[in-house]
Structure 1
Amino acid sequence: MAPTAAHPHRGTRTEVDVVVVGSGPNGLAAALVLAGAGLDVVVFEAAGTPGGGLRTEQLTLPGFWHDVCSAVHPMAVASPFFRAFDLPAHGVELVQPEVAYAHPLDGGRAGLAWRDLERTAEGLGPDAAAWRSLFGPLVARWQSLVDLAMSDYRSPPRDLGSAVRLAARTVEQGSPLWDVRFRGEVAPALLTGVGAHAIAPPRALAPAGAGLLLGTLAHAVGWPLPRGGSQAIAAALLAELSRRGARVITDHRVDSLPELPAARAVLLDVAPRGLLRLAGGELPPGYARQLRRYRHGGAACKVDFALSGPVPWAADGCDRAGTLHLVGSRTEAVRAERAVAAGRHADRPYVLAVQPGVVDPGRAPAGRHVLWTYAHVPNGSTMDVTDAVVAQVERFAPGFRDLILARHVVTAAGEETRNPNYVGGDISGGATTLWQLVARPVPRWDPYRTPLPGVYLCSASTPPGQAVHGMAGVHAAARVLRQRFGISVNPLDLVRGHVPQLR
């Protein structure tokens, strides 16, 4: 049966107000907003544990707790959704490493991004002033910067000055001008390592912007880890959803929209490919063609380690960092990411490593440690790159191999098997390009509303894109409230609980 405007799904009776498919951070954020408006909300999750990328499991050995996907959460402090939700008030302890991120180089050297901007600059020798001038104005206005980056990209920035400052630096670092500012090797490597989080060649506008935002947050709010693992964030959101009367049903894979309960609105925390599958041919041909053209980017092969002791980093300060970027110089980072973009495995891949035990020793038995790593690989890769990951860690931490008690690997193809939103292992929800930041998943003024009446997308494949921030869910929920229920309200007020009942 084709959906109708009054009842987007089967039957003639509205069984619930809202159905959310997918319990990732965006799906949970959308559900929280809508439940805060007094709506009857039910969330369906295919996995046995809700949370999407916000899950923590014993992947290697008993007592060793590994984050399944996301591990470090600057947006848990910075995003408008989490600022409104207030994780500490909901029992989540965000612990801060002294060094937000480190970038080791050969010869026992490393760039260290301390929470303190001045201390970071002082460690960069000839590039101290360059780092200070690059990040100082951004750190001073970090909240405006985050609000801009976490918007739906459909309204003018409220702080035009911050937008101009970010744009100017993005053009600089995303173009052949990117080396003009620096004189040494450490500072440009440190910055390139952050930009490579986008899993795209870093000398481009979108990765440069992402790197500048993440670099700013390192000095403004830090890169914290939730004590006990990322599951703590999901647990806090789920507890509040329960308090507001929403239901979350796990182990329930949805194969088509008609099988859902009748509802006035359906929000899908799925990739464009997931929408095509669920719609089953009901989408207009033109819109369906645009979804099929949506590009997915580079992927990740995840390797988790149980260790008998801390990683023996050669460079001072790396043992105090929560996150490390293991790839070497700026030139090596560019070479590795270009290989991935061209569909090749880099001989020395970019490896993103997190050592939770620096601030959260409870992740492993006493004296033991866990190490979380991702290596960037081509989309759809079936290759186990554990040996390359071990080699990159060993390169900067001689003796690392001798500490390995157990390992657990998920290839890029395996990532999609675990979570269909990670198409080909693309954990970013789509290729990180300037066009796809604004026009994801299709170039429409309302990117969340689909042509099916009452059906909306709210995944990382909609603005503002990747990372654990919840804002795609917030933006989609605001449209649902206005368009389906006639409620015009600041959705963040509903997150705060300032408007608990509107019906």
Structure 2
Amino acid sequence: MISTGTDSADAVVIGAGHNGLVAANLLADAGWDVVVLEATAMPGGAVQSAEVTAPGYLSDLYSSFYPLGYASPVLAGLDLPRYGLAWTHAPDVLAHLLPDGRAAVINRDLDRTAASLETFAPGDGDRWRHAYADWAQVSGPMLDAITTPFPPVRGGLGLLRQLRVGGALRLARRLVLPVRKLGAELFTGEGGPVLLAGCALHTDLSPEEAGSGVYGWLLAMLGQQVGWPVPVGGAQRITDALVARLTERGGRISYRATVDRVLTARGRAMGVRTVGGATWRARRAVLADVPAPALYLDLVGAALLPPRLVEDLAHFRWDGSTLKVDWALSAPVPWTNPAVADAGTVHLGADLDGLTTYSAELARGEIPATPFLLVGQMSTADPTHSPAGTESLWAYTHLPFRRHWRAEDIARQVDRMEDVLEAAAPGFRSRIVGRHVAGPAELEQGDPSLVGGALGGGTAAAYQQLFLRPIPGLGRADTPIDRLYLASASAHPGGGVHGAPGANAARAALARDRAVTGGLYAGVIDAAHRTLYRDDR
């Protein structure tokens, strides 16, 4: 029971990550009274910045470059520039440095990208142009489909009108191709395929896995279309804008308020309880920007859920753990190949076969002997990140998923990461004036949603996407508990700073509230979940 005198709001949002803040903003736009309960001392989740390496050097603590955020219809609809958000670009979007010293480069100027790929094989420049033309034809409906609830009816119809049946079927095939196969079909030389594959490895998928091609294609083509921009002044500016917008509309955020229970009655979410016993009554909805296992098993409890759902959650797969290192450098990275110097993001440490080897080691639960690095040259992208003539640099690499790591294993992998950088930029180590290491435990401590250092809220594998995310039958924000909605990256469409899971949860809550009667709406949802999770063993 919720005690007399409990604080209340129309909606209680659990978690002030960017998805929770997006959801809260959209509900506040609809006139709802909204409170956000955040477990830590800061808003933003994995969208934060701070000086952690040396005075005057700003680091983005988790996420950094934002092609999906920049292109997202969800974030665009919030008009965040009005609240101080401004974007900037590195001279080059992305460079993939091969072990033999060659580099494939994406620049927002299509001619410059094509010229880079032409050095790998005659005709690959035109092949890139053709691949980009394919993307440009579908980018609008694709982004609409990605950022709306499943099934993406409007975006899907837009794609069908654009491509007709034959083109839509060819696109569907492309969406399930492994990135190695896609690269081989699109290009003759090594440059194009390795750009696509490096982008695909921003997820936990290998170059051989079904569906990895679409991630590589999406990120690479967005890089060509809009770049991979960063907020002027750091990732924190996205969070600051979302918070400012919410508070202007009367929304409230309570910090160090760790929710330990969703309170229910007769199958309906009634509010939440926080550690220490405080309760919040939700007059209309509870939205949870937390990982799916945490919501269902910890905050709701298995006893209140269909047994089949609980069984399916046992098979929920996290994406890999992550190790991130930030450095303060006294001067720019001394790359042997100057073509890499102007790229905001650098992929480093492997060719296509090396990426396959690296992914295989992760799949076997091994720590890769030669880590593949995703590197961010932040001062190159935004000079406000460090003093003039210096560089604020970060790199991260994937690890096998584990909840617990030995300090010596993390330290050894940091040495290997610096070895990879030193080999590509002799003298790199001599320019280090500060270092900050965030292993899986530190990432989770800073943002409890990054369980085991997993960045994506669950694997990007095809068997845990669309109507299978987070588990079969829960492909939308609705849950088996009426008025409770999943608003995190564990929900469709998954990880990335685009705000779609939060927006989808807000839309679902608003739709439920607009229903003719709550009983009718709840009855439909209950019937659907009984069908999906009936005990038919």
* TM-score in terms of structure 2 length: 0.85
Give the distance between the partners of 1:379 and 1:236, measured in 2 at CA: 33
Is the 8 Å Cα contact of residues 64 and 363 (structure 1) preserved in structure 2?
yes
Is the 8 Å Cα contact of residues 134 and 169 (structure 1) preserved in structure 2?
no
Q: Any stretches of 5+ residues in structure 2 without a counterpart? A: 264-272, 274-278, 518-537
Compute the displacement of 1:445 (Å): 5.7
Matching residue within 248, 270, 281 for 1:262: 281
1:390 aligns with 2:408: no
Which one-letter code corresponds to 2:138 in the other structure?
A: R
1:104 aligns with 2:125: no
Q: What does residue 501 of structure 1 align with?
A: none
Is the 8 Å Cα contact of residues 105 and 396 (structure 1) preserved in structure 2?
no
Compute the displacement of 1:300 (Å): 1.0
1:474 aligns with 2:494: no
Which one-letter code corresponds to 2:418 in the other structure?
A: V
Matching residue within 186, 192, 205 for 2:191: 186
Which one-letter code corresponds to 1:271 in the other structure?
A: P
Compute the displacement of 1:149 (Å): 2.3
1:114 aligns with 2:107: yes
Query: Mean alpha-carbon deviation: is it higher for 33-42 or for 171-180?
Result: 171-180
Is the 8 Å Cα contact of residues 440 and 462 (structure 1) preserved in structure 2?
yes
Query: Mean alpha-carbon deviation: is it higher for 146-155 or for 11-20?
Result: 11-20
1:308 aligns with 2:338: no
Partner SS for 2:458:
coil
Matching residue within 457, 464, 485 for 1:429: 457
Is the 8 Å Cα contact of residues 78 and 143 (structure 1) preserved in structure 2?
no
1:208 aligns with 2:237: no
Identical counterparts, % of pairs: 37
Q: What does residue 446 of structure 2 align with?
A: 418
Partner SS for 1:262:
strand
Partner SS for 2:212:
helix
Which one-letter code corresponds to 1:410 in the other structure?
A: A
Inter-CA distance 402–284: structure 2 relative to 1 (3 Å threshold): same
Which one-letter code corresponds to 2:382 in the other structure?
A: D
Q: What does residue 329 of structure 1 align with?
A: 351
Equivalent positions of 1:165-176 (< 5 A) are 166-174=171-179, 176=181
Which one-letter code corresponds to 1:436 in the other structure?
A: Q
Compute the displacement of 1:174 (Å): 4.0
Query: Mean alpha-carbon deviation: is it higher for 411-420 or for 451-460?
Result: 411-420
Compute the displacement of 1:333 (Å): 1.0
Give the distance between the partners of 1:452 and 1:335, measured in 2 at CA: 43
Q: What does residue 236 of structure 1 align with?
A: 241
Which one-letter code corresponds to 2:239 in the other structure?
A: A
Q: What does residue 223 of structure 2 align with?
A: 218
Q: Any stretches of 5+ residues in structure 1 without a counterpart? A: 2-8, 489-503
Equivalent positions of 1:329-348 (< 5 A) are 329-348=351-370
Can you list the C-alpha shifts for 1:158-203, whole angstroms capped at 9, x where unaligned? 2222754543333444464642443222222122111111122122
Matching residue within 59, 80, 91 for 1:87: 80
Can you list the C-alpha shifts for 1:29-80, whole angstroms capped at 9, x where unaligned? 1001100000000001111110001100111122211111110011222111
Query: Mean alpha-carbon deviation: is it higher for 164-173 or for 75-84?
Result: 164-173
1:350 aligns with 2:372: yes
Q: What does residue 496 of structure 1 align with?
A: none
Can you list the C-alpha shifts for 1:400-453, whole angstroms capped at 9, x where unaligned? 111111211111233223322112211011111112111111222653222222
Give the distance between the partners of 1:34 and 1:48, measured in 2 at CA: 23
Q: What does residue 489 of structure 2 align with?
A: 460
Query: Mean alpha-carbon deviation: is it higher for 234-243 or for 251-260?
Result: 251-260
Q: Which has the higher contact order (CA 8 A, sep 6+)?
A: 1
Partner SS for 2:111:
helix
Matching residue within 10, 17, 26 for 1:17: 10
Equivalent positions of 1:35-54 (< 5 A) are 35-54=28-47
Is the 8 Å Cα contact of residues 92 and 105 (structure 2) preserved in structure 1?
yes
Aligned length: 481
* TM-score in terms of structure 1 length: 0.91
Give the distance between the partners of 2:171 and 2:489, measured in 1 at CA: 22
Query: Mean alpha-carbon deviation: is it higher for 321-330 or for 128-137?
Result: 128-137
Can you list the C-alpha shifts for 1:89-118, whole angstroms capped at 9, x where unaligned? 332110011211110123432000111233
Q: CA RMSD in A?
A: 2.1
Can you list the C-alpha shifts for 1:244-274, whole angstroms capped at 9, x where unaligned? 1000111211122241411121000000221
Give the distance between the partners of 2:313 and 2:478, measured in 1 at CA: 13
Q: What does residue 278 of structure 1 align with?
A: 299
1:144 aligns with 2:141: yes
Q: What does residue 4 of structure 1 align with?
A: none
Compute the displacement of 1:152 (Å): 2.4
